[in-house]
Structure 1
């Protein structure tokens, strides 16, 4: 069993608004890539058992080696449990030759009402050993900050 990483953020939007941003292709392309990356969804099937394929590209690949190529991380995501507006479970597999990035990482997005806001907690289980905990938590925090910016201005 691999490592578990967890990051939370209070977002000034309803759980339904946040949930919808987790299941909208254009929204994901806008907010999911962490700082320093852009993202493109290549395949989209938003239902349990469906999923998406995302190509994340480093804006400056120098010093940021990708998992798939020097400048990219490609990840196939399968949707597991989708419980509106409480939870989204994703199973992520990185396209990589390095076995340190192999395996299935499960990411659960928990959405809990907090007054007029939503506490969003991302729990990543079985994180591949090639992804450092500090970098992973920083990346998740960056994606949550992007999500907050995306839904709070909506």
Structure 2
């Protein structure tokens, strides 16, 4: 059993708008990459059993080398559960030769109505040992900040 990391945030947008941002490929590449990274999707299939392949590229890889290449992380994700308007569960694998990043991490994104908008909760189960708790907390918070900026416009 691996580590579990969690993060949450209230965003000033209705749950349906937030959920759409979780499931729209054009939106994902805009808000999901944490600060210092950009993203592109190589494929996207929104259905249980479908998934996506995302390449995340570091703006400056000198301080944080990539898992797949010196300047990038490659993520293979499978949609395990999709509850329209409420929850997306992904099984996530990092493409890496480093065994510290091996294993499947389960990412659960939940959206619920809250005063002032929506509450977004992220739960990451079985986080690979190669991802530090501090870096992951920073990355999750950054993604949530980006999501809020995206849906609050």
Which TM-score tier does this pair reach, normalised by the shorter chain?
over 0.9
CA deviations over 1:83-120 (Å, ceiling 9, x no partner) = 12111101100000000000000000011110341110
- What residue is the counterpart of 1:112 in the other structure? 112
- What residue is the counterpart of 1:8 in the other structure? 8
How many corresponding residue pairs? 153
1-structure distance, mates of 2:91, 2:13: 25
CA deviations over 1:120-148 (Å, ceiling 9, x no partner) = 01000000000000100110110000000
Q: What SS does structure 2 have at the residue aligned with 1:124? A: strand
Measured on the aligned residues, the alpha-carbon RMSD in Å equals 0.7
- What residue is the counterpart of 1:127 in the other structure? 127
2-structure distance, mates of 1:115, 1:147: 18
1:151 matches 2:116: no
Q: What SS does structure 2 have at the residue aligned with 1:148? A: helix
Measure how far apart 1:30 and its partner are: 0.5
2-structure distance, mates of 1:48, 1:40: 21
1:97 matches 2:102: no
Q: What SS does structure 1 have at the residue aligned with 2:151? A: helix
Give 4+ residue runs of structure 1 displaced > 3 Å after superposition.
none
2-structure distance, mates of 1:63, 1:111: 33
Q: TM-score, normalised by structure 1?
A: 0.98
- What residue is the counterpart of 2:50 in the other structure? 50
2-structure distance, mates of 1:20, 1:63: 33
Q: Identify unmatched segments of 5+ residues in structure 2.
A: none
Q: What SS does structure 2 have at the residue aligned with 1:122? A: strand
2-structure distance, mates of 1:18, 1:51: 19
Q: TM-score, normalised by structure 2?
A: 0.98
CA deviations over 1:11-64 (Å, ceiling 9, x no partner) = 111111111111101000100000000000000101111010000000011111
